[in-house]
């Protein structure tokens, strides 16, 4: 790879966003091409600038980091996504990597680690820190042991998580930028796969299976 690695960063916490931006601006091998504080603006800027790497907060308003990576994958964009989060549960790490993320970092890591990961991902590597690898491997084995029909898609998991947060079907549709009918269809698929008949039972089953954190 010639030249500097072009990076866009998105985080809804102003202090953390500013810190990452300054970190990348000061690195001799990284060029900061954009910052965003919500998912919709991040995706718009990513499509406009097409950086080598996107460093995305997991819990962005509007579109979360994983949803943005899924959109990049659908669009066939060359940008490689890194999720950075305060959440270290194995189910979330698995969901991010399965969606196409090339790395998953915790927000407690050093600036040097963030920069090293950006450069490694730009070079084609997938990075899961040692302290997350055991949980990720266990989650991988657990999911492969489940019957194929019982596995929820990434979007079905999104709907289930929002339902667990108490959002109405209309609010879930607005959060995910889809129609109410689409949400109802996803919910029915969730009920069928989990062997339940209503939202409360689905949330309870999701918690038992470690799908909700």
* pLDDT for residue 1: 43
Q: Which H or E run contains 62?
A: none
CA distance 100 to 119: 17
Task: Please list the pLDDT of the chain residue by residue as tens digits (213 residues).
Answer: 458 999 999 999 999 999 999 999 999 999 999 999 999 999 999 999 999 999 999 989 888 898 899 899 888 999 999 999 988 888 788 888 888 999 999 999 999 999 999 999 999 999 988 888 887 787 777 766 655 546 788 899 999 999 999 999 999 999 999 899 999 999 988 988 887 888 888 888 888 777 875
Determine what percent of the chain falls in helix, strand and coil, rounding each to the nearest 5: 55, 15, 30
CA distance 108 to 88: 11
* pLDDT for residue 140: 73
CB 24 within 8 A of CB 15: no
Beta strands in the chain (DSSP E): 5-10, 30-36, 53-57, 80-85, 103-106
CA distance 36 to 157: 25
Place of tokens 């089953």: 205
* pLDDT for residue 11: 96
Domains parsed from the chain with CATH numbers = 5-141 (3.40.50.2300), 148-208 (1.10.10.10)
């Amino acid at each position: 790879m010639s030249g500097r690695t072009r990076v866009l960063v998105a985080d809804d916490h102003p202090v953390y966003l500013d810190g990452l931006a300054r970190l990348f601006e000061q690195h001799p091998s990284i060029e900061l091409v954009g910052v965003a504080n919500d998912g919709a603006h991040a995706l718009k800027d990513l499509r406009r600038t097409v950086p080598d790497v996107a460093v995305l907060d997991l819990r962005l308003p509007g579109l979360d980091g994983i949803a943005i990576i899924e959109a990049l994958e659908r669009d066939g964009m060359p940008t490689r996504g890194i999720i950075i989060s305060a959440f270290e549960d194995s189910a979330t790490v698995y969901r991010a990597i399965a969606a196409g993320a090339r790395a998953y970092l915790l927000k407690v890591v050093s600036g040097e680690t963030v920069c090293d990961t950006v450069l490694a991902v730009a070079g084609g590597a997938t990075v899961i820190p040692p302290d997350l690898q055991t949980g990720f491997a266990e989650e991988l084995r657990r999911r492969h042991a489940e019957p194929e029909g019982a596995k929820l898609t990434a979007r079905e998991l999104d709907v289930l998580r929002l339902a667990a947060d108490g959002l109405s079907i209309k609010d879930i549709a607005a959060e995910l930028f889809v129609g109410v009918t689409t949400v109802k269809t996803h919910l029915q698929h969730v009920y069928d796969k989990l062997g339940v008949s209503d939202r409360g039972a689905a949330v309870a089953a999701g918690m038992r299976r470690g799908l909700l954190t």
